[in-house]
């Protein structure tokens, strides 16, 4: 199976499965590349990831975050 085929199938997975796969792929890079983030940021990322896994917080789509941010900017502009 080619990388292109794997990518196409992975993108067709449900959101939670894609997130789990992305996390596993990202974690597999830890051994090969060093993170440009400080240890404090790595810990914060892991804390937030656990909060999502445990249902303490609900993820918000990037598009929604951008839309709300633009609404705030527009409303703050005189």
Q: Token pair 């929604």 is at which residue?
A: 64
19 CB burial (10 A radius; 0-12, 13-18, 19+)? middle
Segments of the chain with pLDDT less than 70: 30-35
Split into its structural domains, the chain has a count of 1
| Structural domain containing residue 33 | 3-76
What's residue 39's pLDDT?
Answer: 85
Q: Is this prediction's pTM over 0.75?
A: no
Integer angstrom CA distances of residue 77 from 40, 41, 69, 70, 72: 35, 32, 13, 11, 9
């Amino acid at each position: 199976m080619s990388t292109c085929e794997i990518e196409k199938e992975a993108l067709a997975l449900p959101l939670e499965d894609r997130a789990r796969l992305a996390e596993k792929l990202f974690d597999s890079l830890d051994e090969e590349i060093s993170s440009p983030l400080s240890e404090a940021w790595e810990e914060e990322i892991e804390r937030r990831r656990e909060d999502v896994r445990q249902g303490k917080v609900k993820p918000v789509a990037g598009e929604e975050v951008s839309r709300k941010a633009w609404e705030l900017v527009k409303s703050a502009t005189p």
